[in-house]
Amino acid sequence: MTTPELQQAYSQAYGRPAEKIFFAPGRVNLIGEHTDYNGGCVFPCALSFGAWLLLSRNSDNVLRFRSLNMTDTYEIPIDAIRPQGNRAWCNYALGCIDIIMRRHPEAKLMSGYDLLYYGNVPAGAGLSSSAAMEVVTARAFTEEMDRKGAELPCGYTDDKAYRTELAKISQLCEREYAGVMCGIMDQFASAQGKKDHAIYLNCDTLEFEHVPVKLDGIKVVITNTHSPHHLDSGAYNDRVRQCQTAVEQISKVRPIKHLAELSEDDWAQVESAITDPIAKKRARHVVGEVARTAAAVEALKKGEIAYFGELMTASHVSLRDDYEVTGLQLDTLAEAAWQVDGVLGSRMTGGGFGGCTVSLVKDEAIERFKAFVGKEYEEKTGLKADFYVAEIGDGVMRLH
């Protein structure tokens, strides 16, 4: 939808135009999966699709929530901001507002608001529609609740530091209001994205670098499983716990804070300390994935795209065999992609258990790729896949 169309929808909902409009993108992760909450590196890009938030103040001291994607609406008094039951979608926004107030005691809601959300990230696709909603809310409400009137909200003078704070607020929202013990990758990518660049982020220190994604004659293609299993917070949180078990067991022979501290050589020395076989597999993935991510970033910088693709494929194999977060749908898509001439690499992206794959495909092979992967997928799963050529966009912004 265009901005004028969104304004029209806002006027229809609330009888007047919105005072402000904000946008935050979804993301696709090129490599570095399930490393963020293990203190490792990730390499995501912001996408051109995401979440929009239109708002105006009201004089009723309530937050009114509407979405063009959802039928449920909510009206929450501004002095009663707490999680709403039954998986209410407004939790992703309420959590951000609550956390802004906790982290920035000077920030106060000075009035109610009439809010309208719209998202075009395919739902359940593992492309961070929830992070986009959190980050757009954090961006809007840090500005709205700021009483200092400085150039950037919450007293920030540095745009990068401000955007990192938006990512932290949003990650806490996901943890506390949605119960997913996630790392910071998704929210960080949505906050710090840059057009035609990927973000090489160290999730321990939050230092990062924008790396140009220059792929001559090659596209980043996202394929959606449309699988009914989407990111299951239970299975995700299990992985987080299994990695903690591995850290505890390794720490008996060598104290570590995070699995990502271990190089592959260190791993050979400490792996026997992990007595739990599941925890050992999970840790082996993390150590290997951290090394692959660093190698992939170097390869991209040197223009060695074929090697980058091989590392993506190795990442999928490890997520399939050691981390066990792929499943029939994602494996079918990736394994079909590997067979297509002109595909440099293909892997699942995001949390797993359904969602999307990301592939590097030569321009001349794109139609062949879609036809072959689409056919294999339908034959093996009975589902239809969808393909999008990724456009790498900027991070959160105010549009109006």
> What is the total count of residues that contact ligand GLA (CB under 6 A)?
10
Residue 347, interface with ligand GLA (CB under 6 A)? Answer: no
Binding segment for ligand GLA (CB under 6 A), chosen from 178-186, 222-230, 245-253, 276-284, is 178-186
Residues 134-173, one symbol each (x = binds ligand GLA by CB under 6 A, - = not), give ----------------------------------------
Residue 27 structure tokens: 């993301």
Residues 179-218, one symbol each (x = binds ligand GLA by CB under 6 A, - = not), give ---xx-xx--------------------------------
What whole-number distance in Å separates Cα of residue 122 and Cα of residue 324? 24
Whether 186 is catalytic is yes
Rounded to a whole number, what is the distance in angstroms from the first to the last CA of the chain?
15
**Min CB(185)–ligand GLA separation in Å:** 5
**Min CB(58)–ligand GLA separation in Å:** 33
Residue 111 structure tokens: 């009035």
Alpha helices in the chain (DSSP H): 3-14, 91-103, 129-144, 159-178, 185-192, 233-251, 264-270, 277-302, 305-321, 328-338, 366-381
Residues 87-126, one symbol each (x = binds ligand GLA by CB under 6 A, - = not), give ----------------------------------------
Q: What type of residue is 99?
A: I
Q: Which is nearer to ligand GLA, 18 or 199 (CB)?
A: 199
Residue in the block written with tokens 């996408």: 47
Binding segment for ligand GLA (CB under 6 A), chosen from 30-38, 80-88, 309-317, 362-370, is 30-38
Binding segment for ligand GLA (CB under 6 A), chosen from 34-42, 155-163, 261-269, 360-368, is 34-42
**Min CB(318)–ligand GLA separation in Å:** 12
Q: Which residues contact 398 (CB under 8 A, 6 or more apart)?
A: 20, 21, 22, 139, 140, 143
Q: Which is nearer to ligand GLA, 350 or 354 (CB)?
A: 350
How many Cα atoms occupy the beta-carbon half-sphere of 60 within 13 Å?
A: 10
Q: Which is nearer to ligand GLA, 141 or 353 (CB)?
A: 353
> CA torsion sign, 393 to 182 to 119 to 62?
negative
Q: Which is nearer to ligand GLA, 50 or 351 (CB)?
A: 351
Residue 322, interface with ligand GLA (CB under 6 A)? Answer: no
Q: Which is nearer to ligand GLA, 124 or 183 (CB)?
A: 183
Q: Which is nearer to ligand GLA, 153 or 351 (CB)?
A: 351
Residue 36, interface with ligand GLA (CB under 6 A)? Answer: yes
- Burial of residue 93 (CB within 10 Å: 0-12, 13-18, 19+) is buried
What whole-number distance in Å separates Cα of residue 365 and Cα of residue 384? 20
Per-residue buried b or exposed e for 167-183, using 16+ beta carbons within 10 Å of the residue's own CB: bbbbbbbbeebbebbbb
What whole-number distance in Å separates Cα of residue 384 and Cα of residue 388? 14
Could you tell me how many residues make up the chain?
Answer: 400
Residue 43, interface with ligand GLA (CB under 6 A)? Answer: no
Q: Are 209 and 294 in contact (CB under 8 A)?
A: no
Residue 350, interface with ligand GLA (CB under 6 A)? Answer: yes
Q: Are 33 and 89 in contact (CB under 8 A)?
A: no
Binding segment for ligand GLA (CB under 6 A), chosen from 33-41, 92-100, 134-142, 268-276, is 33-41
Residue 351, interface with ligand GLA (CB under 6 A)? Answer: yes
Supply the residues annotated as catalytic: 186
Which residues here bind ligand GLA, judged by CB under 6 A?
33-34, 36-37, 182-183, 185-186, 350-351
